[in-house]
Amino acid sequence: MFITPHFTLDEMTASKIAAREGFDNTPTPEVLANLTVLCGVLEKVRALLGMPIIISSGYRCSALNQRVGGAPSSQHVLGLAADFTVIDVSPREVIRRISDSDVPFDQLILEFDRWVHLSVTTGTPRGQVLTIRRGTGYLQGLQ
């Protein structure tokens, strides 16, 4: 099932850990509504970059989020966040391009210099850009 023209429910809920360990990662109707908002913003990111983005983590049920070490307050649990990469574009450059654009986001996080975490909100977006590296915690801006 396509949520938007380029993003499917399967890719936004896929998890090898959930499949292997038997977690039901089926979104509720409320989470599905949030995934629609998220995928709408991801469509804008895709258009901005002019190429596909590869989702590594979208929605996570609470049990899955806990199992993968996600923060208890993670927007992934609400269907409002996705982690992704773009072939041939560094995560740092992806964040620069998004933060310099009019794409609405709540948080953009450069995670371990390996992928981008993008979260959205149904309220007023904070437009917060953070960097996290092992042993540093979250740092403001693109570090």
Residue boundaries of the structural domains of the chain: 2-134
| Cα 123 from Cα 111, distance rounded (Å) | 24
Low-confidence ranges of the chain (pLDDT < 50): none
Q: Rounded CA gap, 134 and 121, in Å? A: 27
Tell me the C-alpha distance between 48 and 27, whole Å.
Answer: 28
- State residue 143's pLDDT score: 65
> Rounded to two decimals, what is the model's pTM?
0.93
Beta bridge partners of 110: 116, 131
2-134, what's its fold?
Answer: Muramoyl-pentapeptide Carboxypeptidase; domain 2 (3.30.1380)
How many beta carbons lie within 10 A of that of residue 25, not counting itself? Answer: 18
Q: Which helix (H) or strand (E) holds 54?
A: strand 54-57
Give residue 36's identity as a one-letter amino acid code. T
